[in-house]
Amino acid sequence: MILSRSSSPHRLKRPTTEEALSFLKKKACIPKIIKHSIAVATTAVELAESCTRKGTHVDIALVRSGALLHDVGRSVTTDVKHGLEGAGILREAGFSEDLARIAERHVGAGIPKEEAMALGLPPKDYLPETLEEKIVCYADKLVSGSKVTDIAYVIKNFADKLGPDHPSIERLKRLDKEITHTING
């Protein structure tokens, strides 16, 4: 769907899979990131469809597009700022704000304002809020490279990298609980 104010092919409110992949290539995302994004999208859509089957409305098109584009900021940086960079890239290109927020809020299990400031990010919360944001964030954690893992692996990985008492581990556990509860009822 093209936004009414522009006929540019990158002024897409909700890009198709092909358009999202083309955009990643245009932004010089490396093949490894594109493969990861495809795996995240597959996982996220499966989670979204499971939620829908249990009676919870999820915008599956948004989940698919958001998962495909969540790491576009890695074309600029591979550090924790890639979510913020990606959101800026998407906003500048005219993509919808809900897609930009998915990119901005997918890092870690979300980042609260205090941690954001300590990491050198602008002072605000980068916590996923909508179910679609949470699903993409969660799916991104479950995909290591292009391989789907499980939550125990992810928690161990977080603990190994950040320390066993890092607050992101509890956020990750809450995210896991919320998504699995939504799917399992």
Q: How far apart are CA 61 and CA 32, in angstroms?
A: 23
Q: What is the 3-state secondary structure (H, E, C) of the chain?
A: CECCCCCCCCCECCCCHHHHHHHHHHCCCCHHHHHHHHHHHHHHHHHHHHHHHCCCCCCHHHHHHHHHHCCHHHHCCCCCCHHHHHHHHHHHCCCCHHHHHHHHHCCECEECHHHHHHCCCCCCCECCCCHHHHHHHHHHHHEECCEECCHHHHHHHHHHHHCCCCHHHHHHHHHHHHHHHHHHC
Single-letter amino acid code for the residue at 16 = T
Q: How far apart are CA 107 and CA 71, in angstroms?
A: 9
Reported confidence tier of residue 42, pLDDT bands at 50, 70, 90: very high
The owner of tokens 């066993």 is 164
pLDDT of 6 reads 35
Region 99-109: mean pLDDT is 97
pLDDT of 4 reads 29
The owner of tokens 């500048």 is 92
The pTM assigned to this predicted structure is 0.92
| Count of Cβ atoms closer than 10 Å to residue 122 Cβ | 10
| CA of residue 118 relative to chain centroid, distance | 21
* Domain made up of 17-184: CATH architecture: Orthogonal Bundle (1.10)
8 Å CB contact between 37 and 24 = yes
pLDDT of 124 reads 96
**Is 15 a residue whose pLDDT tops 70?**
yes
| Tens digit of each residue's pLDDT (9 = 90 or more) over 126-170 | 999 999 999 999 999 999 999 999 999 999 999 999 999 999 999
